Amino acid sequence: MHLGVALLLGLVASAPSSVRVQVRGGGDTSRVRAALIERLLEEGYVLAPERGAAGLELTVVVTKDLVTFDAIGQRPIHQEVPRDDSALSLLEVHQAAVLSLEQAGALPGVSLPRTVCLSDLRGSSSASLLAQLRQRLLSEGFGLVGAGRPRDVEVCLSAKGAAIVAAASATSCARLPPTLELSPENTEDAGQFEARLAQAVVVLARGVSAEPARGQPNLSLSPNPGPPPPSELSFALHAGALTRGAIDPSVALSARYLWPLGLGASALALISPSGASGEGQVVESSFLLGPTLRRAFGEDFSASLSALGGVLWHHFAINGAASGDRAEWSLLGNVALSYRLGAGLELELGLYAGLGGRAREHRVNGALVWERQAWMASLMLDFRYAWPI
């Protein structure tokens, strides 16, 4: 019984609280408001829209020498913090705001609004643009959440020259092609362009179908489930080391095509040069093709498995002995882990292991100058870029 009550209290305490923020006073209150919203999003709060219910109300009054906080939830809390233009003072203001909200305590039973997360994929959007977008979404009835938090809509922004491109999704929009692209017009200043973009983002967010309530199953039988996620074509450049009993450098180029469910095909061209104890040069090249299965873990991490088969081309040029080429079959398995660096760009670590035909050796005047086993393994790091198609 006590354990059940403790778990229930823990769930209630960990649930996100919605807070409506109002900033008044003289001077540049917009900068104070933008910085405060950024901090509250980092703390896990849901920023409530300008109209409707909220679990907490925070009113901030900024004067020349003082910042006052009035937080209203289960109880009213009043705090005052001296103000100047130093970074330390700004940190104290943020801490006082968070402390006031914690002491006030959110009202129970307040439903969360439909929430939006703004993701700046390449860190290219200006602070004033993000503040304008957040303010417009709040005024249009949306709530705001920080990165990595449960949300109903994610809007991804990135720069394309002077233009801003955006995509929106009920899950993750990081890999979706942009559905919005706006450029400043010659007659516009920065503020006018940001206002026009904010309106377009609101329309984009409204166009995303509403998801079931948080934690509730979707029991509807909709005849139109929406378009499937796009297929993906990617290319990668690899570099690392390969061993067949001795360690040699290796470089590779690969291509991969994935269907929406993560099943696809991969092609790999791998080259590994090696010396022959100063008596010549040996180059082995593998050309492989096979099926691939990829699965995502969260928004940034993914793993893939591949089974590749093809040809290993063995080229040798030994001083004072024969030179030529030999072809063998090759079978490799691949396990790769990927981390998303930005829109379409991934850093990937891959392990390849299998068989490369048969064991080979080269001799000069009976002396062994080069030898490799039939098994082979390679560890390579690569950069991969993908296009949705």
Instruction: Compute the average pLDDT of residues 318-326.
Output: 80
Cα–Cα separations (whole angstroms), residue 235 to 169, 300, 329: 25, 18, 24
Q: Which of 31-45, 60-74, 167-181, 252-266 has the highest mean pLDDT?
A: 252-266
The answer to whether residues 170 and 251 belong to one domain is no
User: Tens of pLDDT along 153-198?
Assistant: 888 887 777 778 888 888 777 667 777 888 888 777 877 888 888 8
- Count of all residues that appear for the chain in the document: 389
The answer to whether residues 320 and 374 belong to one domain is yes
> What's the pLDDT score for residue 2?
43
Look at the chain and report how many structural domains it folds into.
Answer: 3
Please report the sign of the dihedral spanned by the C-alpha atoms of residue 21, residue 22, residue 23, residue 29.
positive
For the chain, the average pLDDT equals 81
190 within a domain of the structure (yes/no): yes
282 within a domain of the structure (yes/no): yes
Q: What is the pTM of this model?
A: 0.51
The answer to whether residues 127 and 80 belong to one domain is no
Q: How confident is the model at residue 103 (pLDDT cuts 50, 70, 90)?
A: confident
The answer to whether residues 105 and 125 belong to one domain is no
7 within a domain of the structure (yes/no): no
3-class SS shares of the chain: helix, strand, coil, % to 5: 20, 50, 35
The answer to whether residues 143 and 263 belong to one domain is no
The answer to whether residues 269 and 375 belong to one domain is yes
The answer to whether residues 22 and 66 belong to one domain is yes
219 within a domain of the structure (yes/no): no
- What CATH number corresponds to the domain at position 46? 3.30.160
The answer to whether residues 33 and 50 belong to one domain is yes
Coil/strand/helix, residue 131: helix
Quote the domain boundaries for residue 48.
14-109
> What's the pLDDT score for residue 365?
82
User: Tens of pLDDT along 337-352?
Assistant: 999 887 789 999 999 9
Provide CB contacts within 8 A for 38, sequence distance 6+: none
Nearest to 68 by CA among 55, 57, 81, 58: 81
222 within a domain of the structure (yes/no): no
The answer to whether residues 124 and 103 belong to one domain is no
- What CATH number corresponds to the domain at position 351? 2.40.160.20
- Domain boundary residue, one of 62, 82, 109: 109
Share of residues in the chain with pLDDT > 90 (%): 25
Is the predicted pLDDT of residue 213 greater than 70, yes or no?
A: no
